[in-house]
């Protein structure tokens, strides 16, 4: 299994702590330096090992089958669709669009993928709060990174939103890059949210409560 590059410090760091702490507690147990050393060794080792397993699970990078077809917009994130609405996007696109918001729990894959082919024309980091990501105003009040793509169906915007647990979003794309549909461009560490803003005339293929997968699930089809 592959892992996101940003996850290796967490995976190997937790593994190193597990080995070091387990070795120290094992020494205490073997020398009889503490009457409860065996239980400390067993409990601490198991707990730290589970943390290492969780880190590997969280930063997993599974293969995805990118759908083919003209005008398809795929999901930029794994998770649950929590918001669908028509809205005027005033900061970057300055036009009426369709917004689809996806909430990622700690159990979801957190790698983000481009919803369509397009040239990156904007990447903007905005500091902010760390409210629960499922709240409607978290998009603008929380720390976030906006990326705008110029594609065949028009401009498409995605916003990586940090949440109460997730306090670090990563966008690897730079202005001038050309991304392919389903191509990885970043991730958000731990539970978080991703908003996508599509052309107003896009035909949505999802509804509230749907579970989607980044790069695979079709969110909409443009005209």
Residues belonging to the active site: 192
What's the sign of the alpha-carbon dihedral 103, 135, 153, 188?
A: negative
Angle between helices 8-31 and 37-58 (to 10 degrees): 170
Are 125 and 162 contacting, i.e. CB atoms less than 8 angstroms apart? no
Are 78 and 110 contacting, i.e. CB atoms less than 8 angstroms apart? yes
Query: What is residue 42's three-state secondary structure?
Result: helix
Instruction: Please give the Cα distance from 41 to 29 (Å, whole number).
Output: 7
Beta bridge pairs of residue 157: 148, 197
Structure tokens, 138: 């978290």
Q: Which residues of 100-112 are buried (b: 16+ CB within 10 A; e: fewer)?
A: bbbbbbeebbbbb
Structure tokens, 62: 């599974």
């Amino acid at each position: 299994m592959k892992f996101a590059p940003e996850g290796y410090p967490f995976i190997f760091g937790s593994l190193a702590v597990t080995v070091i702490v387990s070795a120290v507690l094992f020494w205490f147990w073997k020398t009889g330096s503490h009457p409860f050393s065996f239980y400390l060794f067993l409990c601490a080792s198991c707990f730290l090992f589970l943390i290492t397993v969780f880190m590997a699970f969280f930063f997993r990078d599974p293969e995805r089958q990118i759908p083919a077809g003209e005008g398809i917009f795929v999901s930029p994130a794994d998770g649950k669709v929590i918001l669908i609405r028509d809205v005027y996007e005033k900061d970057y696109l300055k036009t009426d669009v369709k917004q689809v918001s996806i909430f990622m729990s700690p159990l979801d894959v957190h790698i983000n993928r481009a919803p369509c082919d397009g040239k990156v024309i904007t990447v903007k980091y905005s500091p902010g709060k760390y409210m629960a990501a499922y709240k409607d105003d978290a998009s603008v009040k929380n720390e976030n990174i906006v990326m705008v793509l110029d594609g065949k169906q028009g401009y498409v915007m995605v916003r990586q939103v940090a949440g109460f647990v997730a306090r670090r979003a990563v966008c690897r794309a730079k202005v001038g890059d050309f991304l392919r549909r389903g191509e990885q461009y970043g991730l958000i560490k731990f539970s978080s949210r991703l908003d996508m803003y599509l052309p107003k005339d896009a035909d949505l293929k999802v509804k509230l409560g749907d579970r989607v997968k980044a790069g695979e699930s079709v969110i909409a089809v443009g005209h």
